[in-house]
Amino acid sequence: MRQTRKHLIDNIEIFKTQLLAWSQQFDDVVWLDSNHCKQKYSKYDAVLAVDAFTSIQTDYSNGFNKLKDYQNTTGDWIFGYLTYDLKNDVEQLGSNNFDGLEFPDLYFFQPKKLFLIKGKKLVIKYLNSVINEWQDDIKCIETYSFDGLQKVSDHPIKIKLRTSKDEYFNKLDKMLYHIHRGDIYEANFCQEFYTENTQIHPLETYLKLNAISKTPFAAFLKVSDKYVLSASPERYIKKKGRKIVSQPIKGTAKRSDNYVEDQALIQQLKTDEKERSENIMIVDLVRNDLSKTAKKGSVKVKELCQVYTFKQVHQMISTIISKVKKEVHPVDVLQTTFPMGSMTGAPKISAMEIIETLEDAKRGLYSGAVGYFSPKGNFDFNVVIRSILYNETNKYVSYSVGGAITAKSQPLKEYEECLVKAKAMREVLES
């Protein structure tokens, strides 16, 4: 069904930009880029899938079973996304908040053309029907005239808050009330920043966001008129063979240009009791989720509260692994862990119920996942955070940020943390 060709790349950074620019002619595009971050569990440096041969689009109703059928039927590489609102398929929940983006709840496609980059080696996997195009495509890509970064938008962009600062504090008080009453221990509370009647240049916006962030799970997704421009630092979940890896993030600190101050911020994050307790609660939640499909005794914490440094922030990350049972379908691993613990809370269902009542916007693809399945049923998905979402037809641009609320949360610090997380997106859009 697919044929493989190999090609050596002279200048990888130039080629990656040319490849991504060339891909814009297609309606279906998924670009995943590790930005050369050292990731123990990553197989490729970058991946591009374009041009849908088949696809699936659905709302949340029976969404995971539909995805399972599609993955079984294709038996091939498929790329796409899961929105946060697939929670309504997993549990008896609803999503009734305002939605300016209108992304379908689930979308995957089988690409005609697939590019896998590792170092300077490019592996091309084309469907048989288009394999005779690969050499012409490479020539076109390597001579592709890309004029460089243009304006993000032709007009000034003014960002609005869906939730005012005062409303944020009021809602946080209500969240803390639920925590102190014992309804939940922790919840990820998010707010939306948006602009209406605005047109942006998606590729230029992504390239600028990626340039100032350089995160290991960056993604550019295009589905017709809808775009995801993601500088995500977080892996949701990966499957290789029977091994499952989940790497939740909980705990954020700003960067400093001063080396001594920056090191002090790392140490402060490492020893912050509140941040560590956030992380450990989610580790316990992930362990519980993974145990639903794991071979008995195989769930292990490989890293606990490890601090990693990115261009914009320091992050506290834990790594949990398991060995999945032989009879478990790959989609079942996603269904039993979705939505990811880092974006929900504990207990998970109660946290999601309370989140829905307090947040002012439907999350949609924010705090969902972008990724792929391989023909062998392996997969890798990021968490859609630090991301700009764009509906070109609606002329609606949105990014959301959030943080884990616990009994030790101080509302002003939580709000300031949101602004730190939002800095890169705002900088790119308003520059």
DSSP code for 300: E
The reply to whether 270 belongs to the active site is no
- Is 139 an annotated catalytic residue? no
pLDDT score for 41: 85
pLDDT, one tens digit per residue, over 257-270 is 999 999 999 999 99
Domains in the chain, CATH or no CATH each? 2-430 (3.60.120.10)
Query: CA–CA separation, 148 vs 151, rounded Å?
Result: 10
- Lowest-confidence range among 33-47, 98-112, 209-223? 33-47
What whole-number distance in Å separates Cα of residue 188 and Cα of residue 95? 16
What pLDDT shows up at residue 38? Answer: 77
Q: How confident is the model at residue 151 (pLDDT cuts 50, 70, 90)?
A: confident
Task: Check pLDDT > 80 for residue 62.
Answer: yes
pLDDT digits (tens, 9 = 90+) for 380-399: 999 999 999 999 999 999 99
| Distance (Å, whole) CA 29 – CA 365 | 16
% the chain with pLDDT above 70: 100
The one catalytic residue among 234, 278, 353, 359? 234
Listed residue (409, 349, 340) closest to 177, CA to CA: 409
* Active-site hit among 66, 125, 238, 250: 250
Contacts of 67 by beta carbon, 8 Å cutoff, 6+ apart? 56, 106, 108, 331, 334
Please report where in the chains the tokens 């670009």 appear, as a residue: 31
Rounded to whole angstroms, the Cα distance separating 300 from 283 reads 10
Contact criterion met (CB below 8 Å) for 317 and 303: yes
pLDDT of 94 higher than 90: yes
Per-residue confidence band for 148, with pLDDT thresholds at 50, 70 and 90: low
Q: Is the peptide bond before 202 cis (omega within 30 degrees of 0)?
A: no
Alpha-carbon span 85 to 82, nearest angstrom = 8
Percent of the chain's residues with pLDDT above 90: 93
What is the model's pLDDT at position 311? Answer: 87
Phi-psi label, residue 330: left if phi above 0, alpha if psi -120 to 50, beta otherwise: alpha
Q: What average pLDDT is seen over the chain?
A: 96
Query: What value does the mean pLDDT take over residues 281-285?
Result: 94
Residue labelled with tokens 């069904």: 1
With cut-offs at 50, 70 and 90, classify the pLDDT of residue 233: very high
Q: How far apart are CA 404 and CA 419, in angstroms?
A: 14
> Rounded to 5 degrees, what angle do the CA atoms 39, 22, 224 make?
90
